[in-house]
């Protein structure tokens, strides 16, 4: 099988779909925090719409992350770009983003469905790590686009 020059349509849709879902999780996190506080203090919560959105969107992210990993490991992938330290950093950030896409929802589920208080702490730490990695990821994409001008973004564009 020949090596593609860009990601497949499905991978591209999943990549940008996860970005939209991340925004959904973020905008619903205040509602989730209120429900979590109720649950920890009173042992019960009404589970507002925002809370339900947070849970469902997060579980969909988990499913899509597993799908993305499966595609990555079963289909030919475009070549890694860069070399040396730059390639290593790109790899670490990508692996980190996949880890966040898995551990963030799993820790949320352990807290919410299992009542594990510490999992709530892990969830918060993973979210902050995710933000850091996402910042590096977007900065790298901008660097490729406007400084290196190598049109790396085209590999993640539908057309």
Q: Which is nearer to ligand HEM, 2 or 100 (by Cβ)?
A: 100
Task: Name residues whose C-beta falls within 8 Å of residue 99's C-beta, 6 or more positions apart in sequence.
Answer: none
Task: Name residues whose C-beta falls within 8 Å of residue 47's C-beta, 6 or more positions apart in sequence.
Answer: 35
Which residue, 83, 86, 85, 26, is CA-closest to 57?
A: 26
The Cβ of residue 112 has, within 10 Å, a number of other Cβ atoms equal to 22
Q: Which of 3, 8, 18, 129 binds ligand HEM (CB under 6 A)?
A: 18
- Name residue, tokens 């910042």: 135
Minimum gap (Å) between residue 113 Cβ and ligand HEM = 6
The yes or no reply on residue 60 touching ligand HEM (CB under 6 A) is no
Q: Which of 12, 26, 52, 129 binds ligand HEM (CB under 6 A)?
A: 26
Using CB under 6 A as the binding rule, the residues of this chain from 92 to 121 that contact ligand HEM are: 94, 97-98, 101, 104-105, 108-109, 111-112, 120
Q: Which is nearer to ligand HEM, 66 or 153 (by Cβ)?
A: 153
Q: Which residues bind ligand HEM (CB under 6 A)?
A: 15, 18-19, 22, 25-26, 29, 32-33, 36, 54-55, 58-59, 61, 72, 81, 94, 97-98, 101, 104-105, 108-109, 111-112, 120, 123-124, 127, 134, 137-138, 141, 152-153, 155-156
């Amino acid at each position: 099988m020949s090596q593609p020059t860009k990601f497949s349509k499905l991978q591209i849709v999943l990549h940008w779909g996860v970005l939209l879902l991340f925004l959904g999780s973020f905008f619903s996190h205040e509602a989730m925090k209120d429900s979590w506080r109720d649950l920890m203090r009173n042992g019960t919560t009404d589970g507002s719409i925002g809370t339900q959105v947070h849970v469902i969107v997060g579980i969909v992210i988990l499913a899509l992350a597993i799908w993305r990993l499966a595609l990555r490991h079963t289909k030919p992938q475009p070549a890694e770009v860069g070399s040396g330290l730059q390639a290593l950093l790109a790899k670490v950030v990508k692996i980190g983003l996949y880890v966040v896409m898995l551990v963030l929802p799993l820790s949320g589920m352990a807290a919410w469905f299992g009542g594990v208080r510490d999992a709530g702490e892990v969830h918060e730490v993973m979210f902050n790590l995710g933000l850091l990695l996402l910042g590096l990821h977007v900065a790298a994409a901008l660097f490729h686009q406007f400084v290196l001008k190598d049109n790396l973004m085209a590999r993640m564009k539908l057309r």
